């Protein structure tokens, strides 16, 4: 469910002022970037070899997120 500032007020809370001027990312490391191929589980697929589904895995990890912080930081003004 999407909560806008208008419909959260019925629950007695709203968006804090800092949240109105920030971008928020929800990152799924296993779908973002593979930073350490040495820890790939068996059955890991090569990146872009298939459409993501609930049953496949491409080997993304926290190191992949760290390696691409510049990408995330570069999108903060867009």
**DSSP type of residue 46:** P
Q: Which residues contact 34 (CB under 8 A, 6 or more apart)?
A: 40, 47, 58, 59, 60, 61, 64
Q: Cα–Cα distance between 32 and 54 in angstroms, integer? A: 15
Give the chain's mean pLDDT: 78
Interval 6-11 mean pLDDT: 59
Q: What predicted TM-score, i.e. pTM, was given to this entire model?
A: 0.59
Confidence band, pLDDT 50/70/90 cuts, at residue 13: low
For residue 27, give the nearest of 55, 75, 60 by alpha carbon: 60
Q: Cα–Cα distance between 13 and 16 in angstroms, integer? A: 9
Helices (H), 1-78: 5-8, 29-32, 62-67, 69-74
pLDDT at residue 18 greater than cutoff 60:
yes
């Amino acid at each position: 469910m999407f909560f806008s500032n208008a419909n959260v007020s019925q629950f007695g809370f709203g968006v804090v002022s800092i949240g109105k001027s920030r971008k928020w990312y929800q990152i799924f490391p296993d779908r973002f970037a593979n930073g350490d191929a040495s820890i790939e589980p068996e059955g890991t697929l090569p990146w872009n070899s298939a459409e993501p589904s609930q049953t496949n895995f491409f080997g993304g990890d926290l190191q992949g997120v760290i390696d691409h912080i510049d990408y995330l930081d570069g999108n903060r003004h867009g």
